[in-house]
Amino acid sequence: MSVTIDDPNEGARVLAEMVTAAETVVVFTGAGISTESGIPDFRGPNGLWKKIEPIYYDEFVTSETARLADWKRRFTFRDQIARVEPNLAHLAIARLVARGKVNAVITQNIDGLHARAGVPDERLIEIHGNATYATCLDCGERHELDAAEAAILATGRSPRCGCGGLVKAAVISFGQAMPTREMERAEQAIQEADLFVAVGSSLTVQPAATLPMIAKYDGARLVIVNGEETPLDGLADRVLRGSIGTVFSAL
Ligand code: NAD
Ligand code: ZN
């Protein structure tokens, strides 16, 4: 049965207890874990979607105007993440990974903060990609954002790869297919876990929002840490409300 705990200090105690009792934990994070570092989320009270519209994958590949607008946002985001640091929650999760308690950190975030907090590549599954570099949509070659910016400044056009393909930030845009390898890794990690902790996600973006359901149906306990309600609250064993920084303070 689902129990909601509104007091974040009590939530911190419950989370620490559940993590201690578990053998293997999967942590799943969304934009809410990074707001206390200073990066706005999409759907929270100060979310970006209240200010701008998303640029869809189809628009990126068909419209030069959309590509230039997308790049402009990528350079702004690059400058924004360069100014911030991983917070208490990122660091607590990285420590649990180092101790072998957490077998995977599955994140919807593209800000690279889990890696900067010390989660190694083999434990980190970025299902929506990573905004700190770019790739060619045709051959997959890696490109750096600074080089892309220099190319746009020099030519006024969006950058191309040596192979002629479009270069795009290495994130999964709206309308773009999910990365199969990352989704497989995520499902594998979930099968091994007996506790799934969802942190700072509105749990509305598909297919990412199905991962907690998979965990639950595989027999794991489910805890949701979020400031607002989510559509999966009824499925969770515990729903812990309040600031993520406070709820993670006892770990
Ligand atoms: P979301 O914006 O849909 O939901 C974030 C949730 O976190 C909201 O319900 C909000 O109330 C809650 N929240 C925010 N700050 C909190 C805090 N300090 N304490 C407790 N709760 C808090 O985020 P989502 O579910 O991750 O979906 C958004 C998509 O946008 C993701 O796919 C992600 O790729 C992308 N995104 C990433 C970043 C980033 O990388 N930091 C930022 C914005 C959006
Ligand atoms: Zn290429």
**Which of the following is catalytic: 90, 114, 128, 143?**
128
Q: Which residues pair with 102 in a beta bridge?
A: 25
| Rounded alpha-carbon distances, angstroms, from residue 62 to 58, 68, 131, 150, 158 | 6, 12, 21, 22, 12
Shared domain for 208 and 250, answered yes or no, is yes
Shared domain for 133 and 234, answered yes or no, is no
Domains contained in the chain, number: 2
Shared domain for 57 and 156, answered yes or no, is yes
State in Å: Cα 131 to ligand 2 middle.
18
State in Å: Cα 245 to ligand 2 middle.
41
Shared domain for 203 and 227, answered yes or no, is yes
Q: Which two structure tokens, joined as six digits, stand for 113?
A: 């903060």
Q: Which two structure tokens, joined as six digits, stand for 86?
A: 């991983």
Chain-centre distance for alpha carbon 108: 2
Shared domain for 99 and 183, answered yes or no, is yes
Provide the whole-model pTM: 0.95
Going residue by residue through the chain (251 aa), what tens digit of pLDDT does each one get?
Answer: 789 999 999 999 999 999 999 999 999 999 999 999 999 998 877 777 666 789 999 999 999 999 999 999 999 999 999 999 999 999 999 999 999 999 999 999 999 999 999 999 999 999 999 999 999 999 999 999 999 999 999 999 999 999 999 999 999 999 999 999 999 999 999 999 999 999 999 999 887 789 999 999 999 999 999 999 999 999 999 999 999 999 999 99
13: domain CATH number? 3.40.50.1220
Shared domain for 63 and 93, answered yes or no, is no
Shared domain for 190 and 237, answered yes or no, is yes
CA-proximal residue: ligand 1, atom 39 (nearest): 109
Shared domain for 198 and 249, answered yes or no, is yes
Shared domain for 138 and 77, answered yes or no, is yes
Shared domain for 196 and 228, answered yes or no, is yes
Q: Which residues' Cβ are closer than 6 Å to ligand 1?
A: 30-32, 34-36, 39, 41-44, 47, 108-111, 128, 200-202, 205, 226-228, 243-244
Give the domain extent around 123.
1-39+86-128+178-251
What distance in Å separates the CA atoms of residue 219 and residue 203, rounded to the nearest whole number? 19
141: domain CATH number? 3.30.1600.10
Shared domain for 214 and 248, answered yes or no, is yes
Active site residue 143: no
HSE-up of 130 (CA within 13 Å, CB side)? 19
Shared domain for 165 and 228, answered yes or no, is no
